[in-house]
Amino acid sequence: MLEHIPGWLGKALSDVRAGAEKLAIARPELGTSFPALDLSSPAFADGARLPERFTADGAGVSPPLIWGMPPEGTACLALLVEDPDAPAPQPLVHAVIWGMPADAGRLAEGAIVGDGAGTPDRDVGRNSYFREGWLPPDPPTGHGAHRYAFQLFALGAGVGDPGETPGRTALVEAMVGHVLAAGLLIGTYSRGEAAPVGPVGAVATA
């Protein structure tokens, strides 16, 4: 949808961004000193550009993710993907997954899809468009690079229940007081500006 915003308007809004300080992982009520959980993707490096197939310009599937063993006492895992550079008061939510097993270790490419009331090992929640599943990155042309923050939380016993197909607010409220560790992985994407692709040093227009 945001690809239809004209480039001149995207540039005019380039300084209008929700802000990284509003990401869930930065919320003080979730804690400020928990251990780091290793989170990465075989499809892109931390801080690097997302391949087009994971965006609205490509197939629009969710990227694969892998992570290290969470700390002892982890009851389940939750994943929240947000865009803090969206021209909105709050980060745009691209994915919510609740209740993954502590030993899951990975998500396959394309795994973040709607699942109704959930499956025995997880529940895919609602993105900012009020739909279950992966909301492909779709930044306005000319708005500059957007960061997509993949935030993985290891949650201890007694964690709250966010309900069926939870959204961001319900997820964060359920996690308060129960975060044992958290991991952060950043992918970027932009339209209408130079972006590195292929070999190091190669430049193309996004």
Q: Exposed e or buried b for every residue in 99-127, given b needs 16+ CB within 10 A?
A: bbebebeebebebbeeeeebeeebbbbbb
Residue 141: inside a domain: yes
> Range of 90's domain?
2-192
The pLDDT profile of the chain, 206 residues, written as one tens digit per residue, is 455 544 433 454 456 688 999 999 999 999 878 899 999 999 999 999 999 999 999 999 999 999 999 999 999 999 999 999 998 899 999 999 999 999 999 999 999 999 988 888 899 999 999 999 999 999 998 889 999 999 999 999 999 999 888 999 999 999 999 999 999 999 999 987 665 554 434 434 44
CB within 8 A of 80, min separation 6: which ones? 24, 93, 95, 96, 151, 153, 168, 171
Residue 201: inside a domain: no
Residue 206: inside a domain: no
Residue 70: inside a domain: yes
Number of compact structural domains in the chain: 1
Residue 202: inside a domain: no
